[in-house]
Structures are given as C-alpha cells and as structure tokens.
Chains A and B, each alone.
Chain A
Amino acid sequence: MRRLTLVICLLLATVTPVTAQYPSVRQGFWYGFGFGVGKGQVHCSICADQSGTDLTASLRAGGTLSKSWLLGGEFDFWTNSQDLVTRRSWSLSAVGLWYPWPAGGAYAKGGIGITGYHASDSVDVITASRLGLMLGVGYEWRIGKKYSLNPYFNYLYTLPGDLKFNEVVIADDARISSLQLGVGLVIH
C-alpha cells in the first residue's frame, strides 16, 4: 500500500489540482495510464502459487461511442520478485467502459483478451497464456479540462489451458488470475 500511496501523491503533484468545476464530457479519442499494486497467480491441479503483491501498470486508449460508452484497448502488467523467483503477468484486452450516469465519473468495465503468465528462476521457466476476461470498476475525477484522475480496480481471469515448465506441458487446467488496484490519469 505504500507504493499505491506514493503513486497517488505523484499523480496529484504532477497535475495541477483543480476542483470539479469541469463537467464529465466524453468525446473523441482518449488515452490513459495508471500504476498501482496487484497480484497475479496461476491456478491448476498442481499449482500452489506463492506470489506476492507488487507493482502493476496499465495503459489504455480508445474512442468514444456515446456519452455512456467507450471502447478501447488496454494493456496491463504486473511483476513480482521474491526469493529466487520472478513472476510477471500481462494482459492485452479489448475493453468497453460503461458510465451508468453519463454526467458522472463512475464506470464499469468489461473486456476480453489474452493474458500471459511467466515465472522464472535462473534456470527454469513456467509459462501460460490464455484467453481471459476482465472486469473492472473505476471513477474518473475531472481535475482539468482534459484530465481525469482515475482510481480503478481490475480483475482478470482466464479460461483453463496448458501450463508449461521449460516448454513441457505439465498441466492442462491452468487458469491465470490477476487483481489490480491503482490510480491513473486519463486524457480526453
């Protein structure tokens, strides 16, 4: 959580804070990025993934369909190192954002895409990549004419598939999950 606090402070410091006098207007191309904390894990019949909570990053961009709907693409990344093992998970998803109150900043997000998992020490590598679904919620808090501060929560979960150890399939029921809690900046 210390990292999350640091990220929030940095974002607040780099963007001139202004009050919410700017209405939530969504139009045209938009893009954004964010940082936070999260956790990726692989699950299967022989898995007992002891991953830890660590840094996540997120990038997304897209276009506006309506006052209530945005479509875009999103890349999420998480990494964790502990003891001898480094883990990474990533996902590349097509996402849709729905704003139930068009004048407000709250949104729900759904997406579908590819999620990958990679864990390695100095010798061996465990990998998996599967089609996965993303669900998320967030809030865009207008802090400038074009800027929104965006706290968000994402959850990714994949369909079952192969888990490989040094390219040898060792399980066929592996799912990847990822939790992300972060704060971003969205530019409209």
Chain B
Amino acid sequence: MRNPSPQLSVGALIFLLAAGALLAGCGEDTPSTPTPPVATGVSVAYDLWRPGPNDDCTAEIHNSYSVVGPDGKLYPTWHPPIDPATGCHFGHEHGRDPRGSNLYKRYGPIPFGYANEQLAIWDPTGIRNEDHFGHKVEWENNVTFNLGNGVGGSVLQVRCDVLTKLHQGTHSKDAFTNNLHELVYYLDCTDGTRIGMTVMTAIGTPGEMVESCDHEVHVHVGTPTPLNSPDGGGQRTIPDRACIEQFLLVPPGQNSAFSSALHESWQVSASLRKANGQFLAGVNPYYQVFYPSRFYDASLPNITGRVVDMCFATEPNGDRAHGWLCDQATANGTLTSLPFDDPRSPFNGVKRQVDINGNRIANADGPEVWYTDPFGGNAKTSPFPGSIRQVLAKMDNTESYQFDGPTLGGDRDYGGQGVHAPN
C-alpha cells in the first residue's frame, strides 16, 4: 500500500493554515474574549496595594494575582483574603471567587481598573483612579428573575447567570464626593438576554452624596475627582453624622439600630448609547453595604468619621451606642478603644448584597459587539482610542415583560480570615 506523499501533505497543511488565517481575519467580531498571553505594560491599578501593619503578605505575592487586560496591560484581579500557597493574609477581600461563575468561562478574569485606564486615554483631563480595596465581586448562577405578579410571572420563568463587580470603597472619603466608579456587569439569561458591560458609571451627582437615613437630604461635600465628572442617574446613599446620632447613639436602655445607621446603597443607572444618544442597553443594580467603617462627618478635619469610635463615645446628653456590634468592637466593654483598621472591628464593609433589578436591551439590529467610550457613550462598531468592548444580545426587550433580578450575596459574609478596614 502506498503512503501519501509527504510533500503533498505539507503543501495541504500550508494551504489550510493560510486559508484559516485568511478566514479568521475576515470573520466578524464575536462575543468571546481572547486574552493576550503576554503583558506589554502595567496599568495604573497594578501594584497599588502595600501591606499594612496587620497584613503579612508581600506586594509581590499580591501582584501575582494579575491578569492581562484587553489592552495588553497587566491588571490586578480577584484574589482570596488568604494566599493559599503561603497562608499569608492580605487583610482585604474582593467578594465572591468569580471562578465559580458560569460567566467566568466566557469573560475570564476581571481586570480591576481597566475602565479607569481607558478613561485616561479617552479624556486625559478627566483621569479617575480608584484604590485597590474597593473592587467587590458578586455573582450567582442560574437564578430566577422576577417577572412580576401579573401574567409574566404566572406564565414565564427566566433564569440568568449574573457576574458583577463594582468599585465600592466604603472605608475612605472618596465616595463622599466622587461619583465615578468602575462597573463590570455580565448577564446571560435563558430568554436570550445577554449583557457584557464594563464602564465608568456615574452614580448620582458629582461632589455630593445622599444621607442614607433620609434620602431627601443631599449633602454637598466638595469638589469631585475628576472635576469634569458627569452627572449620573441613581445616587450614593452614605451614613453621615446625623444618621449616627439618630440610630446609633441612643438613650440608655435602648439598642442601636445598626442596620438603619450603617447602610450604604449605591444605586447605579448605567447605560450604553450611541453618539446620538440612542439607547442600546441599560441596567440599574443597587449595591448595598452594611456596617461600613466610615461615615461622613463635616466637623472632622478629614470629614471621615470612624464607626468603631462611636462604640466608645458618649454624647453630652448621655446617649451612646448599645448592641451586639459594639459589644464585639469593645469586647463586651473590656476595651477602651479600637483602631478602625483592627481586624477585631466588625465595621469593615464585608456584609454586602446586590439588587440586580432591571435589564433592558434595544439592540434588535445588532451587532453583538459594540465599542463605547468609558462612560458607555459614543457606541461604535469598531474600536477607537479609549474605547471599551461591550457585548449585547441582538434583541429588543424594552417593550417586553418586567424583568427584574433578585438580590445576590445577602446570605454571604466575606469577613474573617484577617479582613479588616480598609476593605
């Protein structure tokens, strides 16, 4: 039996490779995201973290948790609070391990700070960098969405995979004035709804926050970073001194209402739009944090009050904090003070939940891949300097059934394992 000619096989192989390369070049942009294997540089977000006095991991170990972003630069990404290889403590956490999400398989590791990096290219006069601690991941696979009490909820059932990350720092004064925060929002549903959004989202009005215990009170705090931050939908409700005095510092015999006093709600209204303002997609998740380490106090030089200090404070009228969280912070009254960044403080922002809420797409004619500026505007079909790749299903659900997501993460606690403020 005659063997096939080796020369013919090589020729055929070369032909097939050339044809394959040609076809790949002609193929349309698909929603899958190839990750460049080798970094061509480092992002601003990379190598930000340094260990504090309560942390025993090195910056080098921390930097090993990195990913190459779509721009080829190296970015930090999710890591556990304790490095499994060495057992050292980072002292902060980024929420739920995204590797368990079905959407992780499609989108890969999340590069923390990628939208911030693109913003510096898109608008060099409007740079907005965020710290490392605030990147918080939440996800859930195959969750049932709420289609209302009417015919939608009675006849239909939509289930979705959700993976989201918001930069939500609750330890510093940053969010008192700054409304620009990096949002990553991935959604894939049984009804065909698919959103893969990464933006710098403007949450509320720049320079101001809303009092968490009275949403009618808008507090103008100062100038935002960057100065040209756009106004956004939604709002950032954050505890201030009034909330502390109303719900935390209470007369003798009463218990503090910790959840009422210490609840942040960052209510996002993010969208993708064309240059003419035409709506392509919109989401409005609410990111909630209970028991953060800070509150706004205009009377302080750095305007940042520390909640744990309130467990040791007594007002002139005798009001003071009473209850389980302050019992923890004071070790049942045996301590006279506790630094805000002590791992024993329960005010560290590890208790969070995300209300997924509505998801709308008006993209019936496609394409499935758009490129927008970092704010989600100026959507085009091809990339441009500072643009971010966005994925949208080819569909229009704006006239369809009510489609609200559930609350994620409310039953999880990301504390322990050496986690402390700043977190």
Contacts and interface: CB of A to CB of B under 8 A. Distances in A.
A5 to B, nearest CB: 28
Interface in A39-85: 42, 45-51, 82-85
A171 interface: yes
A10 interface: no
Contacts of B191: 45-46, 170-171
A122 B154 CA distance: 13
B152 to A, nearest CB: 6
Contacts of B396: 168
Interface stretch (B109-117, B155-163, B249-257): B155-163
A126 B155 CA distance: 8
In this complex, the interface size class of chain B, counting residues with CB under 8 Å from chain A, is 10 to 19
Interface in A134-188: 165-166, 168, 170-171
A83 B401 contact: no
Contacts of A123: 150
A119 interface: yes
B400 A85 contact: no
A21 B32 CA distance: 76
Given A45-B190, A47-B155, A121 B150 contact: yes
A171 B193 CA distance: 12
Contacts of B28: none
Given A165-B401, A168-B399, A170-B400, A46 B190 contact: yes
Given A165-B400, A165-B401, A168-B400, A48 B151 contact: no
A124 B190 contact: no
B193 to A, nearest CB: 10
Contacts of A49: 154-155
A168 B399 CA distance: 7
B157 A84 contact: no
B157 A124 contact: no
A46 B158 contact: yes
B3 interface: no
Nearest to A46: B191
A12 B158 CA distance: 47
Contacts, number: 64
Interface in A73-129: 82-85, 87, 119-126
B151 A120 contact: yes
Nearest to B399: A168
A170 B158 CA distance: 11
Given A45-B190, A166-B399, A170-B401, A126 B156 contact: yes
Contacts of A124: 150-152, 401
A126 B190 contact: no
B149 interface: yes
Interface string B86-127: 000000000000000000000000000000000000000000
A35 to B, nearest CB: 25
Contact of A85 (B150, B157, B158, B397): B150
Nearest to A82: B154
A149 B400 CA distance: 47
B374 to A, nearest CB: 32
A48 B157 contact: yes
A39 B291 CA distance: 51
B155 A121 contact: no
11 contacts: A45-B191, A46-B158, A46-B190, A48-B156, A50-B155, A51-B155, A82-B154, A121-B150, A124-B401, A165-B152, A165-B156
Given A47-B155, A48-B155, A170-B156, 10 more contacts: A45-B191, A47-B157, A82-B154, A83-B149, A83-B154, A87-B155, A119-B154, A165-B152, A166-B400, A170-B191
